[in-house]
Amino acid sequence: MYTIYSVVIVAFFALMSPYLVYQALRYRKYVSSLPQRLGYLPVSFNLDGDESIWIHAVSVGEVLTARALLPDLRQRYPRLRIFLSTTTMTGQEIARNNLQFVDAVFYFPFDFAFIVNRTLRLVRPRIFIMMETEIWPNLLRACRRAGVKTMLANGRISSRSYPRYRLARRFFEPVLRDVDRFCMQSDESARRIVDIGAEPARVTVTGSLKFDSLEGPFDSPQGLAQGRPAGPAGDLAGRNRVLRYFRIRPERPVVMAASTRKGEEGFVLEAFQRIRATLPGALLIIAPRKPEQWDEVERLARRGGWRVARRSELPVDGEPRQDIVLLDTVGEL
């Protein structure tokens, strides 16, 4: 089964290689991160070979959710280093700049046995924590063989993905046996993970960590060094700092298009055109999902005759006078 899985991954990379090369040439994506994805971490990463806790968070949302775990992990396991991996560049940026208690950040390795084994030798985890639904068969099997405890935190199985998981139940059942603990967001997600092969005794409903991680992206070591307090007070300071760029009159309608995918912005602008027909002063704040969309979305809006400003260009303590604000920052949404 694992051999078939690895062959499928190779076939997938072969099929996607033209797109990946295009992304690398145009946006410089994947180039600098390739050695780490192949399991070659910097020499200084874990120079003394200390044991660790390895947390994997795919992108920005999972990274910000992982914040809820960090203080308790640091307090409970003071002798273990905490390493965090991400898949996306934006997740990497947030993790490097806005997380306390993390000793180092790196890119998640490709899920081939020889690569994940190399990464495990360097990271030396005693515990591997996957945020939400990150199930990587070769890595989980390697963890089990190395005696590394594994946990799925803030787990969820959506109604959309559940039928696909059920179709592949015979594949997932042995993979899920390699996970020591499933901490699921809801009773329904717990039922679904059991239905696709998890042992019921290993499944716990913990609720959503997102409610425990609402600290604000500015409650960081840099913020603390600048005198901003931690916890709720730091959160308030962070929010107020962002809101100083949006001094919007209470009577002005604001439309938010959050985390838009490529191609969706045209529909957003059409809908906003209809809104402006009845609410002429309305403001649209649009936040593309990926940074490489920023320039394209700005061009699209300007071609439509809209006055556009980027969030990074807004004056402090002023109301945006434009029709559209493009959120070209990470972690403020």
Question: In DSSP terms, which residues pair with 48 in a beta bridge?
Answer: none
87: three-class secondary structure by DSSP: coil
* Beta-strand runs (E) in the chain: 52-56, 81-86, 104-107, 125-131, 149-155, 181-184, 203-205, 254-260, 283-288, 308-310, 324-326
Residue matched to tokens 């999972």: 62
DSSP 88-103: SHHHHHHHHHH-SS--
Q: How many C-beta atoms lie closer than 10 Å to residue 139's C-beta?
A: 28
Using CA atoms, how far apart are residues 194 and 308, in angstroms rounded to an integer?
49
Pick the catalytic residue: 51, 62, 215, 319? 62
Yes or no: say if 198 and 165 are a contact pair by the CB < 8 Å rule: no
Residue 62 annotated among the catalytic residues of the structure: yes
133: three-class secondary structure by DSSP: coil
Helix axes 137-146, 2-27, angle to 10 degrees: 120
State the catalytic residues. Answer: 62
